[in-house]
Structure 1
Amino acid sequence: MLDLGIDVGGTFIKYAIVDEENNIIRRWKKETIKFDTPKEFYDYLCADVPVENIRYIGLSVPGVLAPDSTILSEAAVNVRVMYHTNVKQEIGSRLGRPAHVLNDAKSAGFCEMQLGNGKGAASSVYFVIGTGIGGCVCDDHQVIEGVNRVAGEFSNLACGFHEDGSIKHLWEIASMNALIDIYNEIVEEDRKERYGTEITKRYHAGEAAALRAMDQWCRNICLGFETIITFYNPEVICVGGGISKEDWFIEKLRDTMQQENLKRAFPELVTTRIERCLYDNDANILGALLFARQKESEA
């Protein structure tokens, strides 16, 4: 039997047909287009999707999901029309197959928990660095979503206050955009950067401003790790996002955590490992499918 995975993103909608051994046997994608109505959007999403030999459908989508798969928060402009729609019903009615839906970061985490560097851990956390901080918290067999389904929304971890008294959140200091902001606060106007990859190049070239910015950014990320360790104390934190592919970055986070460990109240007790996420672009699709299979087995 074959299953269908769909990863709905703000730029592309990705599709994959997957066999029972989790091998992707066909993949394709289409551009995500902004539509005025949910009907137009879902008709486009489901157009020309082959379902003849498909058993289940797993969907990875942005936003907070209600238990019935209604999207409760707005996301990128091109997918904002999904807000307050029931994804499970919309897809199931069009494609005629059992469909199950999971948040995109939680899909990636579920994939890693089942197949990747979190496999076999009694507790694991997935920390995905991008324009925000995606996250997922797992025990030994499932995603922990919380009473309002916002567990793992690490972007919103509180980490202090702004001068006006508003709460400062982790995305402001630990996302890829935060690295750019940190760097641009250090350098002169004519040296400001728009892309984290350029700052990384300057870091490897030994530029003083880039070294300083990277050090501060990694300390900010590790502040998030410290908070997670305190409230959940997982066996492993797996780091995702484009920069997580770099060995030097994972080692720098480990070194930074070791330095911070000396300041911890009980340094000898904390054994949480820092690893990279094993799966990359396929994690959302595979995680959503694994989730769909689990839900069907529980039915």
Structure 2
Amino acid sequence: METNSLGIDIGGTFIKYALMDKHYRIKDKWKIETIKHDTAAAFYDYICSNIKSLDEVEKIGISAPGLIDADSNVKSYAAPNVSVMYGTNIKHEVSKRTNKKVAAINDAKAAGLCEFELGNAKGYKSSAFLIIGTGTGGCICDENGVIYGKDAFAGEFHNMPFVNATIGGLDKMGDYASITGLINVYNAKAAGDDQVQYGYEVTQKYLDGDRIAVSSVEEWIRSIVAQLIVITVFYNPEVICIGGGISEEDWFIKKVSEQYKATCIAFFEADFITTEIDKCKYNNDANLLGAVIKASF
């Protein structure tokens, strides 16, 4: 009987599962709601009780939010529904419940690893990944794969600091370059009756030529480009791939890429930066694929 791998992507709203073959082709997918539990043991029981076809599974790869080191230790809190995982070792908890080989990785690092092995960063000796969602996740790779850093904190791009004179201290770049940042920018500019809840509402207004949305998207993209330039300064990779749902929009990648190039020339006063800006090839399944790749090492 052919053995398969199981990918599990633990999110704050849903837990996604994917059964895939040795070529990373997905054979079955399902998801369950992420329910908050009082104890880590109960949460891991819940995750494992919803695994299908366990007898066909050889190894399990898990992606999850928060700071996760190379040995699967959860070193920070994340979304409220998964905060109970803090201080646990995902590999040990799932392995003892399934008797399978298990590995775990941060969700943005999983997406980066997927692109490094299978996607638009394959073949590059240096690459970085900016994943734009509610926050901005990230990952850095060299020719050997994911770079974790001493504390598994390398690539946590959301936390890039800058001095914000308005608040009189340090602020996080990811708060402005994320989808949440876009929503906040638009709502601050819009009249009270025209507030939005979702980023796609702003981008659709932008594509329709709405004046406030155009101004908001332009401001938001300047924040994204600032993050990309900081990544370029400290690592100067061959390619930076942008992920998240917004990266599937061709207009967005084109606009970010063009503005990145123009800003580099203006800021550095020379045209020497050759770092490429590209989109991620995989989005919806990137975390699942990256987690299984991690488990294959």
Unaligned runs of 5+ in 1: 295-299
Counterparts of 2:31 and 2:114, CA distance in 1: 20
Counterparts of 2:155 and 2:183, CA distance in 1: 24
Contact 2:74–2:85, Cα closer than 8 Å, also in 1 = yes
Contact 1:132–1:176, Cα closer than 8 Å, also in 2 = yes
| Correspondence 1:10 to 2:8 | no
Amino acid at match of 2:86: Y
Identical counterparts, % of pairs:
44
Equivalent positions of 1:190-269 (< 5 A) are: 190-265=193-268, 267-269=270-272
Q: Deviations over 1:92-121 (max 9, x none)?
A: 000001101100100011001100011111
Q: What SS does the aligned partner of 1:52 have?
A: helix
Equivalent positions of 1:158-197 (< 5 A) are: 158-197=161-200
Residues 224, 48 of structure 1: alpha-carbon distance in 2 compared, 3 angstrom cutoff: closer
Q: TM-score, normalised by structure 1?
A: 0.95
Amino acid at match of 1:18: M
Amino acid at match of 2:19: I
Equivalent positions of 1:19-34 (< 5 A) are: 19-34=21-36
Q: CA deviation at 1:42?
A: 0.8
Aligned residue number for residue 290 of structure 2: 287
Q: What SS does the aligned partner of 2:60 have?
A: strand
Aligned residue number for residue 297 of structure 1: none
**Residue number among 33, 40, 43 corresponding to 1:41 in the alignment:** 43
Moved more, 274-283 or 65-74: 65-74
Q: CA deviation at 1:66?
A: 3.5
Q: What SS does the aligned partner of 2:108 have?
A: helix
Contact 1:162–1:168, Cα closer than 8 Å, also in 2 = no
Amino acid at match of 2:273: V
Aligned residue number for residue 133 of structure 2: 130
Q: What SS does the aligned partner of 1:177 have?
A: helix
Residues 48, 167 of structure 1: alpha-carbon distance in 2 compared, 3 angstrom cutoff: closer
Residues 206, 164 of structure 1: alpha-carbon distance in 2 compared, 3 angstrom cutoff: closer
Amino acid at match of 1:246: E
Counterparts of 2:141 and 2:25, CA distance in 1: 23
Q: CA deviation at 1:161?
A: 2.2
Q: TM-score, normalised by structure 2?
A: 0.95
Moved more, 188-197 or 69-78: 188-197
Amino acid at match of 1:47: S
RMSD: 1.3
Q: What SS does the aligned partner of 1:262 have?
A: helix
Counterparts of 1:279 and 1:164, CA distance in 2: 37
Aligned residue number for residue 91 of structure 1: 94
Counterparts of 2:156 and 2:212, CA distance in 1: 31
Unaligned runs of 5+ in 2: none
